[in-house]
Amino acid sequence: MYSGDYHRELRIPGATERIFGQKFRRYANWIQRFCPPGRALDIGCSTGLLVRMLRDRGFDAEGLEMNSSSAAWGAEQYGVKVKNATLRDGLFEESSFQLVVMADVLEHTVTPLMYLGMVRRILRPGGYMFVSFPDVASLESRYWLCLSRMTGKAWLWRNSHIPGHIWEFTRSVAERMFRQAGFEVIAFRRSQPEPEVDLSLVGLLALPTQLLRMPGINRLCGTQMEFLIRLVD
C-alpha cells in the first residue's frame, strides 16, 4: 500500500511545500517551544520536508520512510538523511534520540502500542515525542457521520478525510495509550486541516466544516489532534 506510487504527487518540485508546508511549519515551531535541539527522527517522513524544517531549527534530524522513491526524493530535494526502512528494522541503538516524530503515522500501524514501545527504546531518558492524528469524535467527524446516516449514503463518511485508518482515536483513548506506554502528555492542541480545492459533491458538502478553521474555533474544535509527550524516567 505504501510503496510504488504512494504519495507520488508529492515527488514534484514544490508540491510538498504547497500541500503540507504550512502544517509542517506549525509542527516544527510548536516542537521547538518545548523540546531543546538534539538528535531527532521523523518516522514516516514521506519526502522529508519536516526533517528539513527541524534541521533549520537546530535539530540533528533524519527520517525513516518505507517508500523508496519518497526516501530518495527527500535526500535529493532537501539534502536531508532519509533511510528507506521502518522502525521495526531496528536500525538505531537504545537512547539515540532527543525527539521522535510520528505525524499522521501512528493511526496507520497495526499495533500502535508496540510502536510506542519501540520509540521508547530509542528515546533518551526524558526524551520527547510529537504525535498527530485526527479525532474520530470531532465535530467534523460527527457531521459526516450524521450526514451519512440521514441520507443513507455510507460513502459520504468513507470519502471524508477522517476514516480509512487502521486505528481511530479520541483524545481520551490516545492519552490512555500514551500513559500505558510510559509517556506523559506535556502539551496538547487542535487544528483544522487546510481545505483542498474540490468541486465534487463531497467537496461542496465539506464547506460547512471550514468554519472550524476560524481562529479560536480551530483550537477548541479542530479535527486534528497534536500531542507533545515525554518519556517518563
How far, rounded to the nearest angstrom, does the alpha carbon of residue 206 sit from its chain's CA centroid? 22
The dihedral built from the CA positions of residue 139, 145, 148 and 154, taken in this order, carries a sign that is: positive
DSSP string, 134-159: EBTTSHHHHHHHHHHHHHT-HHHHHT
Note the pLDDT tens digit of each residue in 67-99.
888 888 888 888 999 999 999 999 999 999 999
Q: Which three cell numbers stand for residue 162?
A: 477522517
Q: Quote the CA–CA distance of 83 and 71 in Å, as a whole number.
A: 7
Lookup: cell for 197: 480545492
The structural domains of the chain, with segments of one domain joined by +, span 8-134+165-196+223-231
Superfamily of domain 8-134+165-196+223-231: Vaccinia Virus protein VP39 (3.40.50.150)
Which residue did the predictor score with more confidence, 167 or 143?
Answer: 167
Across 83-87, 129-133, 145-149, 195-199, least confident range: 195-199
Interatomic CA distance for residues 14 and 196, integer angstroms: 16
| Tens of pLDDT, residues 206-233 | 666 676 666 666 666 667 899 999 999 7
Query: How far is C-alpha 13 from the chain's CA centre?
Result: 22
- Average pLDDT in the 107-119 region? 94
201 vs 129, which has greater pLDDT? 129
